[in-house]
Amino acid sequence: MAEVKLMKGNEAFAEAAIRVGADAYFGYPITPQSEVIEYLMTAQPHLTTGMVVLQAESEVAAINMVYGAAGAGKKVLTSSSSPGISLKLEGISYMAGAELPAVILNVVRGGPGLGTIQPSQADYFQAVKGGGHGDYKMLVLAPSSVQEMADFVEDAFDAAFKYRNPVMILSDGVIGQMMEKVIFKEQKDRWTEKELIEINGSWATTGKTPDRERNVITSLDLDSHKMELHNHKLQAKYKQMEEEEVRYEEFMCDDADYIMVAYGSSARIAQKTLNKARAKGIKVGLLRPITLFPYPTKVIHKYTERGVKGFLSVEMSAGQMVEDVRLAVNGKAKVEHFGRNGGIIPSPTEVLDALENQIIK
């Protein structure tokens, strides 16, 4: 049986990146995710799997290195925390436009601006609604445990290459910094040059051969008609994601009169609240969206059809995901937000008070 390790979320992400057979990581340190690059530098995977690990001169440089490697069909990752992700957004929009696969981890800290180094979930809009310019979407996975920080690396790469699109893992300072048990999968080999050409040769810049046209990686087309068609193609991919990639976890939702909706570390806090509320005889459930885009809209809508009386969105923000809950509920039940800002983590009892005072009363 695989060995059980005790690790920080950031370290688990880094180890999983090596094990999944990634070709490269480009990053720049920032609290609370610096353990990612520290772990990779210590592990020196260039000596074992051949994976390149490079500290770039800035976040902007790192994301453009990711663009280059992804354009060559490589499995490539980067990671940062909120202010650093803001710097990467131009590159992310370009990658969405040029249809490049990559995995981007955001270990969110409080903002705006340099904000604080403490945990936050205030980058929901940035991750889910675009962030960079243009009509693009990323598939967004929200881990709520150290095990998921590891497991989602492979899931993210699978989706990134399936859709040729950047995939974001939206974590936060709690999940990045905490240690929990984690079990890793076996080490996978990196793609050989031959395998890479077989898998990605139809689009990647793997070196032109006489039997095919040039593969061009660009997000630019000055012909608006062509650009509109390209946009339609992108939108069709996002639509397919909405149909095929929705993931969520339910806790005691079947008989619930009220439902809390929370992702990432807030979902862990809400689990504790759920236990406390159930002990008081309150019939409350918890829906944990695992994908934030695509969002489990239909699942929430079904609860309203079943007669759920109220929803509490719990997030470490001023109220961002609550908008998606409201859209799904569509006026059929009460929807409220509870959150703390600026790096303060809500306590399970605070969330219970909010449930009782904002929803049940």
Report the residue from 38, 90, 180, 356 that binds other proteins according to the rule CB under 8 A.
Answer: 180
CB 85 within 8 A of CB 113: no
Using the rule CB under 8 A, give the single segment among 81-89, 206-214, 231-239, 346-354 that binds other proteins. 346-354
Q: Which is nearer to other proteins, 10 or 86 (CB)?
A: 10
Q: Which is nearer to other proteins, 271 or 291 (CB)?
A: 271
For position 179 contacting other proteins by CB under 8 A, the verdict is yes
SS (H, E, C) 152-219: HHHHHHHHHHHHCCEEEEEEEHHHHHCEEEEECCCCCCCCCHHHHHHHHCCCCCCCCCCCCCCCCCCC
Question: CB under 8 Å to 54, separation ≥6 — which residues?
Answer: 24, 25, 26, 27, 65
- What minimum distance in Å lies between the beta carbon of 175 and other proteins? 9
Cα distance between residue 80 and residue 105, in whole Å:
6
DSSP-derived pairing of the beta strands 284-289 and 248-251: antiparallel
Q: Which is nearer to other proteins, 33 or 93 (CB)?
A: 33
Report the residue from 272, 283, 301, 309 that binds other proteins according to the rule CB under 8 A.
Answer: 272
Taking residues 20 to 59 in sequence order and writing x for each that binds other proteins by CB under 8 A, - otherwise, the string is -----------xx---------------------------
Q: Which is nearer to other proteins, 69 or 352 (CB)?
A: 352
For the stretch 25-61, what's the b/e string if a residue is b when 16 or more beta carbons lie within 10 angstroms of its beta carbon? Answer: bbbbbbebbbbbbebbeebebeeebebbbbebeebbb
Phi-psi region of 99 (alpha: psi -120 to 50; beta: other; left: phi over 0): left
For position 271 contacting other proteins by CB under 8 A, the verdict is yes
Using the rule CB under 8 A, give the single segment among 202-210, 211-219, 266-274, 331-339 that binds other proteins. 266-274
Instruction: Pick the closest to residue 76 from 93, 88, 64, 89 (CA basis).
Output: 64
Report the residue from 68, 319, 342, 348 that binds other proteins according to the rule CB under 8 A.
Answer: 348
- What minimum distance in Å lies between the beta carbon of 145 and other proteins? 9
Report the residue from 310, 343, 352, 355 that binds other proteins according to the rule CB under 8 A.
Answer: 343
Q: Which is nearer to other proteins, 157 or 258 (CB)?
A: 258
For position 269 contacting other proteins by CB under 8 A, the verdict is yes
Taking residues 96 to 125 in sequence order and writing x for each that binds other proteins by CB under 8 A, - otherwise, the string is --------------------xxx-------
Instruction: Pick the closest to residue 74 from 189, 141, 165, 161 (CA basis).
Output: 161
Cα distance between residue 72 and residue 104, in whole Å:
17
Residue 257 has which token pair?
A: 């009169």
Task: Please report, as ranges, the residues that interact with other proteins according to CB under 8 A.
Answer: 4, 6, 31-32, 116-118, 173-174, 177-181, 265, 268-269, 271-272, 274-275, 343, 345, 347-350
